[in-house]
Structure 1
Amino acid sequence: MRLKIASWNIRKAVGLDWRRDPTRVLRVLKEMAPDIILLQEADRRLAPRHPALPLAQVRAAGWDWIDADPATPSIGHHGNAILMRPGLEVERMVPLELPGLEPRGGILARIGNGEEALTLGALHLGLRRRDRLRQVAKAVSAAAVLGGPVLMGGDLNEWRKRPDALRLPEGWRTISPGASFHAERPTMAFDRFLHGPGLEVRATGVWPRHLAARASDHLPIWIEIA
Structure 2
Amino acid sequence: MRRRPDRSLQVINALQAEVVVLQEADKRLPPRPAALPHDLIQSHDWTTLDFGQPGGSLGWHGNAMLLRPDISVLGTAGIDLPGLEPRGAIIAELSTKIGYLRVVGVHLGLLRRYRLLQLMAITRELRRRPSMPTIIAGDFNEWGPKTALDAATPGLDFVEGGHSFPAPRPIAALDAFALTADLRATSCGVHRQRPAASASDHLPVWADLIRA
TM range (shorter): over 0.9
Alpha-carbon deviations, 1:14-66, whole Å to 9, x = none?
A: xxxx1000000001111111000000000011111110000000000110011
Aligned residue pairs: how many? 209
2:137 to 132, 150, 153: 153
Which residue identity does 1:202 align to in structure 2?
Answer: T
Equivalence for 1:221: 205
Structure 2 residues not aligned, in runs of 5+: none
Equivalence for 1:198: 182
1:100 to 67, 70, 83: 83
Say which structure, 1 or 2, has more relative contact order (CA 8 Å, 6+ apart). 1
Shift of 1:111: 0.7
Alpha-carbon deviations, 1:95-131, whole Å to 9, x = none?
A: 0100001000010110114882111001000001000
Shift of 1:146: 4.6
Where do 1:10-159 residues align within 5 Å? 18-113=1-96, 116-144=99-127, 145-159=129-143
Which residue identity does 2:122 align to in structure 1?
Answer: A
| 2:119–2:153 CA contact under 8 A, matched in 1 | no
| 1:119–1:143 CA contact under 8 A, matched in 2 | no
> Which secondary structure state, in structure 1, belongs to the residue aligned with residue 151 of structure 2?
coil
What TM-score does the superposition give when structure 1 sets the normalisation length? 0.87
Alpha-carbon deviations, 1:180-212, whole Å to 9, x = none?
A: 001111001111111112102110000015451
The 1:196/1:168 distance shift into structure 2, 3 A limit, reads farther
Alpha-carbon deviations, 1:60-84, whole Å to 9, x = none?
A: 0110011112532111100000000
The 1:148/1:213 distance shift into structure 2, 3 A limit, reads same
> Which secondary structure state, in structure 2, belongs to the residue aligned with residue 183 of structure 1?
coil
> Which secondary structure state, in structure 1, belongs to the residue aligned with residue 188 of structure 2?
strand
In 2, the alpha carbon distance for the partners of 1:61 and 1:139 equals 31
Structure 1 residues not aligned, in runs of 5+: 1-17
The 1:125/1:169 distance shift into structure 2, 3 A limit, reads closer
Shift of 1:163: 2.4
1:182 to 145, 149, 166: 166
What TM-score does the superposition give when structure 2 sets the normalisation length? 0.93
